[in-house]
Structure 1
Amino acid sequence: MIRRFANNERGITLIELLITIAIFSLISILAFNVLTTSLKQKNKVEDHIDVRQEANLILAKWRQIHEEESSTTYGFCYNSDTGLITINSQLLASEGYHFEDISIKYSNDISPNYCEAFSKQPLFVEFTLVGSNGDQFEVDTIIGREIKVTENNEGSTDFFDYLVEHKVFIYGNSLSFTGPLIEGPSSTMVIKGDFLSEQLNGGASINVQNIYIDGHTTINSSSDDSYFGTNAGKTIVNGNLTLLNGKRNMYGDIYVNGDFYLKDAKIYKNVYVNGNVEIDWTPTLSSEAIVYYTGTLKYPKELNNNIVSKFIKKSSIATESFPEYPIPSLKPDKWFEDNGYVSGGTITNNKKIFSNDYRSDSWVASASNVIIVSKGNINLSNIGSLSGVLFAPNGEVNFSGASFEGLIIARDGFHVTGGWPKVTFKNIEHYISNPDKIPFN
């Protein structure tokens, strides 16, 4: 019985085996082609973003040299054979990049020689930046443009009054932040320099009503829940605004005195662009959002027309004033001595510190109502929670800890270097209510 059953068993024929192998090979080839195509598309997108970011860095460097006040001219040279540009004998682009189709004109429509000392009047600049892999990015902009602002004569011109009236939270040349949240829904933040993606944790949110950035701004986001600004506020960028990866929520009206690139971000209110606009594949605009622009519009041909129709060209656009308050100098050393400031020591509640260059590395579990004033930098690490005023008119503030509440005024910027902190606004009046007690002139 068993022998008969075994003899009746039927194996796989050669034809069935060959068909199976053929089907498996076909599926493998299709899967490999899909994977290869996806990787090529991913690399192409990344290469395009790399060239765009390099272009932004080039323009930021060029503008900085063009606008600095130490001289009236600077050396410029374009080598048409190599496609390289040097400014003051230094290469303008990183290794692997070169320039093509370059055109430079002054505002009087006169083109300078491409190897001479450039004067610091506005330059109308066009070029194509080419990466090592051949990816290209076209630039059409102005170097040295003057932002048109509306005069704002409301309130006092006194710096202290400005801090109080506009609820200023952060004021300085730069901001770098590794924490999850900057919280100041009714406050003002002023950054008098570039604000690039590497300066902001990709998932961080900035819940600040009025944001002023006097430079180029590039934002990448790793979280769809992150946000920038408030719906009742505004963001003013005196430079290019580039919104790259991630569905970051951009709240409030946005004013851009430069070019605007929009990829993934969600726009909730109007955007006013004094320059060119480029749309990538996946932006989101709310029903009430409109983008007004004065330059050119570039977008993929297959982009949904419902998105494209929200971009409207104008001969001129609305402008917003940019705060121009220089950080005042410190009062004399004797004033600090007479008003209860000490030169250093451990941070404790209600302590007032005045130092040439203050550093605290020892563990501080909690300290409130602290005022730290430095002629140089302020460096704080191993902080549990701290509230107060940090004032460094000639330097920077570096902070590593769990939380900070108060305000930061630092010429060279506020840099959160560790600790994943939450930073929260509190008005300067909470700590210094008597104007006679402010530590600056």
Structure 2
Amino acid sequence: MVAAVLLVGLTVLGVAIVAAIFLSSSQPEEIPHAAIVAGNRSGYLALTHEGGDSLKVGEYRIYAGTGNELQDVTDKFTVPPDGMWSIGETLVYNGPVPERVIVVSRGTETILSEPTFVWGGKVFDPDPVVPGEPGEPGDPEEKEPIDIIIEENVFVYGSAFKFGGANANAPNATVVITGGLNTNNLNGGAFLNVSNFYFGGNVNLDGGSASLGSEEMPGIIYVNGDLVLWEGGRNIYGDVYVDGDFRLKDAKIHGDVYVNGDLTLGNTPWIAENAHIYYTGKLKTPEHYDDYYATNIVAKCIHQATVPKRDMPDFEFPSAKSPEWYDTHDYKQTLTSTKKVYAPSYTASGSASNIIVVAHDGDISVGGGGTTVTGVLFAPKGSVTFSGNSFEGVVIARDGFFISSGGTKVTFKNIQEYISDPEDYPF
């Protein structure tokens, strides 16, 4: 009898222990669901959360690479400001565009999303991706010039660019020049810290050491013509696309270069360890070179039947609005307390902050001496010239942007920094 009672007691105890272990053990982690799309933000891969659960920083990983050779690149993406990746928020990748990207749940390593790259490879749809059949282009809604200027962080847009200043600070911004660029257009020691450059004509830098591209956020440099980087040990950051011939001598190349034409090398170029130059035409090298040059320069120049190509941004130059619109929005012929000017052309000296100047039929010239000017300068039928200590803002000028004073510092600010309501945009 005692044995039976003892046996029952042990059985009950065993059941209790099993129940305690089962109930106290961690339950399967609930897997979040999220719709992530891949897009293009100023030449960078951008992942946008378009629906589903919010993802807390540390609870997801992002892998990128080619085929099945993927690496954890989570730390190369921007971090959501509140530590939670929620609907409508975008993470931008600071690195070359991969062929494949997946987002997984940390811990279970369950794939949450594998955004599709439309048309494959390194070319993908503008942000956001347009739904459609894989590999087929969608039909995105046509955007207004102001929308593109804002989304692509356009800093300067015009037919010419002359920079006599010290440096331009515009990482993650874009400069669009519908013409070309040559040595005389730049201060010999200038550093143009701008992520993306688009040139509609030849670029010939043969002297000085003015650098192009952003070291901290390298983007795209596109030349619709020939590119010459001959005399001068300048730095070139970002991937370079040349729709013409490329002549390289003293420059330091930090990214990949794609040349739809011939490649000519001088005696003293430098190409970063993981960078290459791909070209479709003929290769010309110095007649004699050593083993170091053969390994570190010539071996990194690879002939291809075709190379990836870029195009100039395709959007209409913005026009001024009607005179009545500016009148009802407190624009004046001269600078007043409203800080908004609408005039055929405009010239002023002295410092000014947060101004908006529209010269609807001519040029804008501001600054002078040790002045500082901030704001938006818009000349749809003319040019903008600044001389002074520093300029901060946005310049949209059909005939170009000219910095005439040495030592000037120029800093990009999105137009949204000055105009919060889209209804108040001056073009």
TM-score of the superposition, structure 1-length normalised?
Answer: 0.62
In structure 2, runs of 5+ residues without a counterpart are: 1-121, 129-141
After TM superposition, list the pairs within 5 Å mapping 1:323-402 onto structure 2. Answer: 323-345=313-335, 351-360=339-348, 362=349, 364=350, 366-375=351-360, 376-382=362-368, 384-402=371-389
| Alignment: residue pair count | 285
- 1:320 match: 310
Asked if 1:439 corresponds to 2:412, the answer is no
- When you count helix as a share of all residues, which structure comes out higher? 1
CA distance in 1, matches of 2:417, 2:337: 14
- 1:200 match: 186
CA distance in 2, matches of 1:250, 1:350: 42
CA distance in 2, matches of 1:351, 1:203: 34
TM-score of the superposition, structure 2-length normalised?
Answer: 0.64
Deviation per residue, 1:226-250 (Å, 9 max, x gap): 5310243110111100002111011
1:328 is matched by which residue type in structure 2?
P
Give the Å deviation of 1:415: 0.7
- 1:113 match: none
CA distance in 2, matches of 1:247, 1:154: 36
Give the Å deviation of 1:154: 3.5
Deviation per residue, 1:364-395 (Å, 9 max, x gap): 1x321100000111112415101000000111
Give the Å deviation of 1:178: 0.4
1:311 is matched by which residue type in structure 2?
C
1:427 is matched by which residue type in structure 2?
N
**What is the root-mean-square deviation in Å for CA atoms of aligned residues?**
1.8
1:228 is matched by which residue type in structure 2?
L
- 1:267 match: 253
Give the Å deviation of 1:333: 0.6
The 8 Å contact of residues 152 and 321 in structure 1, kept in 2 or not, is answered as no
In structure 1, runs of 5+ residues without a counterpart are: 1-148
2:358 is matched by which residue type in structure 1?
V
After TM superposition, list the pairs within 5 Å mapping 1:35-434 onto structure 2. Answer: 152-154=125-127, 157-223=143-209, 226-231=210-215, 232-303=218-289, 304-306=293-295, 307-345=297-335, 351-360=339-348, 362=349, 364=350, 366-375=351-360, 376-382=362-368, 384-434=371-421
CA distance in 2, matches of 1:267, 1:419: 26
CA distance in 2, matches of 1:172, 1:152: 25
| SS across alignment from 2:181 | coil
CA distance in 1, matches of 2:238, 2:230: 18
Deviation per residue, 1:262-321 (Å, 9 max, x gap): 010001111000001100111011111100000011111213212111111000001124
The 8 Å contact of residues 216 and 239 in structure 1, kept in 2 or not, is answered as yes
2:320 is matched by which residue type in structure 1?
L
Q: Per the alignment, do residues 184 and 257 of structure 1 end up closer, same or farther by CA in structure 2, a change over 3 Å counting?
A: same
Seq. identity, %? 42
2:213 is matched by which residue type in structure 1?
G
CA distance in 2, matches of 1:276, 1:222: 24
- 1:124 match: none
Deviation per residue, 1:97-141 (Å, 9 max, x gap): xxxxxxxxxxxxxxxxxxxxxxxxxxxxxxxxxxxxxxxxxxxxx
Give the Å deviation of 1:414: 0.2
Residue range with higher mean Cα deviation, 414-423 or 163-172:
414-423
CA distance in 2, matches of 1:349, 1:313: 60
4+ residue runs of structure 1 moved beyond 6 angstroms? Answer: none
The 8 Å contact of residues 293 and 311 in structure 1, kept in 2 or not, is answered as yes
The 8 Å contact of residues 188 and 211 in structure 1, kept in 2 or not, is answered as yes
- 1:74 match: none
| SS across alignment from 1:429 | helix
Give the Å deviation of 1:326: 1.6
Deviation per residue, 1:151-202 (Å, 9 max, x gap): 8543662111111111110001010010010110111110100111111111
Give the Å deviation of 1:220: 3.4
